Amino acid sequence: MLLGEALISNFHGKVVMITGSDPEEFSEKTSNLNLEKCIFLVASKSFSTVETINSFEAVTNKNFLKSTYAITSNVDGALEYGIPKRTSFPLIDQQEEGFRVGHQYQYF
């Protein structure tokens, strides 16, 4: 979020971040949006976490896959879900070099 604030003027007016699975948060943050003019970023290490997928589907009804970007260690899972390969970006788990992706996160 800090990077977005630094690079995008009026960041909070242009970017909506949903980081949980609270239906009230979805309603509050998406009620005034034209979803056809939005892009969606789904960040999930496994791309199989039920809460993350359910949260995304609650907002989009799985209708906007062409404008959805995935950041995941499981690019094949994102492809199987329907997100185009050109908008899927791999997370690399480099345990041997002291870097490990391992905490829960979800952003749209």
Domain extent listing, the chain: 16-97
Task: Please identify, in words, the CATH class of the domain defined by 16-97.
Answer: alpha beta
Task: Work out the average pLDDT over 14-34.
Answer: 80
Please give the distance of CA 32 from its chain centroid, rounded to a whole number.
19
pLDDT tens per residue across span 52-92: 888 888 888 899 999 999 999 999 999 999 999 999 999 87
In this model, does residue 98 exceed pLDDT 80?
no
- What local confidence, expressed as pLDDT, does residue 7 receive? 57
59 Cβ neighbours under 8 A, 6+ residues apart: 18, 26, 30, 35, 40, 108
